Amino acid sequence: MAEQIRKALVTGGSRGIGAEISKRLAKDGFFVFVNYTSNKEKAIEVVDDISKSGGQAQAIQLDVSDFQAVEEVLGKLQKEMGPLDVLVNNAGITRDSLLIRMKPEDLDATLDIDLKGAIYCTKAVAKSMMKTRKGSIIQISSVVGEMGNPGQSAYAAAKAGLIGFTKSVAKEFASRGLRVNTVTPGYIQTDMTGALTEDQKEAILRSIPLGTLGEPQDIASLVSFLASDESRYITGQTIGVNGGMYM
C-alpha cells in the first residue's frame, strides 16, 4: 500500500469539519488515517462510512498535544506504511472566556492542541515527506485568527499562530517540494455553531455578506484542492472560506 496509494492523515478527523475532510479525501482516492483523541466510536463511524462508499481508512488514536506520543505514533506509522502525502492539521478546541477571567489551564489546553499540536505533527511528518520531495500540509485555522473575537483571545492567538507558522515552514520546505497552506473557515454548521442561540446566529448572519452559514463540505472541497496536484503552485497562503465575513 505504501507505494500504490496516496496517504493522508486528518487530525481531529472523527467529527465535524474533520470528518467531512476525511470522507472527501477518501473519495479522492487517499487512504485516510482518521485521528481521534478519546472518541473511538465516532472515528470508527467515519471509517465505516468511508468503507461503505468504497474508500479506505483507518482510525488512529493520538493526542496531538503530546509531543512524545506524536513522535512515536507518527514515526511508527510512517515506518510501517511509508511517508504521508497529505497532513491536515484540523484538531482544535475552544475554551472561551474573557481574558480577565481566563484560567491558565484553559489557555494551556487551547494553545497545546490548536497550535502546538499542528507544529508537532508537521515536524513529525516533514522529514519523510522531504525525502520523497512531495507533500501537502494543510492547517485548519479560523476567521477568528484573522479578525479576532471577544471572549476568544486564546483561540484567536492559537489560530493566528497557525498562519505565521504556515508562512515560515512553507519557506523552509519549498525547496524540497513540500507545500504548506492555511484554510480559515468562517462560521460553519457543526456541533460548535449548533450551540449558539438564535439571537447569536442572527447577529452572525448579519455580518456575513452571503447571508448563510457554511457547510463542512465547503471546507473539505478546498482541502481536496490543496491536497491535489492542481494546487501545485500554491504555498504559504491563507485562504478564507467565510461567505465574505472577512476580506
pLDDT digits (tens, 9 = 90+) for 137-152: 999 999 999 999 999 9
- DSSP secondary structure string, the chain? -TTTS-EEEETTTTSHHHHHHHHHHHHTT-EEEEEESS-HHHHHHHHHHHHHTT-EEEEEE--TT-HHHHHHHHHHHHHHH---SEEEE-------B-GGG--HHHHHHHIIIIIIHHHHHHHHHHHHHHHHT-EEEEEE--THHHH--TTBHHHHHHHHHHHHHHHHHHHHHGGGTEEEEEEEE-SBSSHHHHTS-HHHHHHHHHT-TT-S-B-HHHHHHHHHHHHSGGGTT--S-EEEESTTS--
Residue 191 pLDDT class (50, 70, 90 cuts): confident
Residue 50, C-alpha cell as written in the block = 468511508
On the CB side of 69, CA atoms within 13 Å amount to 10
Q: Tell me which of 120, 155, 187, 233 is the catalytic residue.
A: 155
Region 241-247: mean pLDDT is: 97
pTM, full prediction? 0.96
Q: What's residue 243's pLDDT?
A: 98
Tens of pLDDT, residue by residue over 78-124, are: 999 999 999 999 999 999 999 999 999 999 999 999 999 999 999 99
Q: State yes or no: is 120 an active-site residue.
A: no
Determine the Cα–Cα distance for residues 232 and 227; give it in Å rounded to an integer: 9
| pLDDT of 1 over the 70 cut | no
Q: Which residue has the cell 520546505?
A: 173
d(CA 178, CA 176): 6
Please report the pLDDT score of residue 190 as a whole number: 85
3 pLDDT exceeds 60? no
pLDDT-above-90 percentage for the chain: 94
Confidence class of residue 45 from pLDDT cuts 50, 70 and 90? very high
pLDDT at position 2 over 50 = no
How far, in Å, CA of 213 to CA of 182, rounded?
20
pLDDT given for residue 15 in this prediction:
94
